[in-house]
Amino acid sequence: MLLMTSAFVIAAPGAHGPNGEHLDSPTTMRAASALPRIEAKSEAFELVAELRAGELVIVIDRYETNEPVLGAKLEVESGSLKAAGVFRAEQGDYVVTDAAMLKALGAAGEHGLVFTLVAGKDSDLLDGTLVNTGGRAAAAVATSDHGHAPGNDAHGHSHELERAAWIGAGVAALGLIGGIAWWRRRRGEVGKQQGGL
């Protein structure tokens, strides 16, 4: 029972792993997206950008606290192309809809991206590589239309803790079933011994 409860405590609402990952996040629980993605982090910030149909969607938070970075100024560069990331208050994310940028990122291959972020008094540069394999990922970009809730995106942290939580929950469930079977058998043996007296 203790193991079972601890497995659920690990993924309780608002739970974070030691590296700050959201363990209760719906997007962390879903299978890895087929859409081209980039994850970048610095000492102060981290972001995840996903190339969808007609837009590059970017979620940013503070690295130490996972606090969403809302209403900041964001510029995205890829080669000679530059585009502004527009903040969407309802989704809590930023979106780039510049046609030239999206066309370039939509091509199969590796695309270096630099994100210039100004959030209040803080500013930072984050960079990474968006890998577009074409094929399935390109088809997913063409048909994708799902939204994003604030603060619910996966981060650049490892997902080993998430896997460990699921494995722990499975082991705990098996242990619980085994414990109940043992208890019933033991109770039956005690009953037989008392009946024989």
Domain count, the chain: 2
What is the token pair recorded at 65? 């606290």
Residue 31 identity? A
Q: Which among 13-27, 83-97, 134-148, 171-185 has the top mean pLDDT?
A: 83-97
Does the residue 27 lie in any domain? no
- Whether 70 and 123 map to the same domain: the answer is yes
pLDDT in tens, 107-166: 999 999 999 999 999 999 999 999 998 754 454 444 444 444 444 444 445 556 666 666
- Whether 118 and 80 map to the same domain: the answer is yes
Tell me the CATH number at 82: 2.60.40
pLDDT in tens, 28-75: 333 456 899 999 999 999 999 999 999 999 999 999 999 999 999 999
Rounded to an integer, what distance in angstroms lies between the CA atom of residue 19 and that of residue 7?
18
Residue 112 identity? G
Based on the number of CB atoms within 10 Å of its own CB, is 81 exposed (0-12), middle (13-18) or buried (19 or more)? middle
Q: Which among 4-13, 60-69, 182-191 has the top mean pLDDT?
A: 60-69
- Whether 83 and 147 map to the same domain: the answer is yes
- Whether 113 and 60 map to the same domain: the answer is yes
- Whether 122 and 179 map to the same domain: the answer is no
Give the domain extent around 107.
32-156
Phi, psi of 86 (to 5 degrees): -95, 130
In terms of Cα–Cα distance, which of 56, 154, 73 is closest to 111? 56
Rounded to an integer, what distance in angstroms lies between the CA atom of residue 85 and that of residue 172?
45
- Whether 52 and 118 map to the same domain: the answer is yes
- Whether 97 and 175 map to the same domain: the answer is no
**What local confidence, expressed as pLDDT, does residue 17 receive?**
52
pLDDT band at residue 195 under the 50/70/90 scheme: low
pLDDT band at residue 185 under the 50/70/90 scheme: confident
Residue 112, number of CB atoms within 10 A of its CB = 12
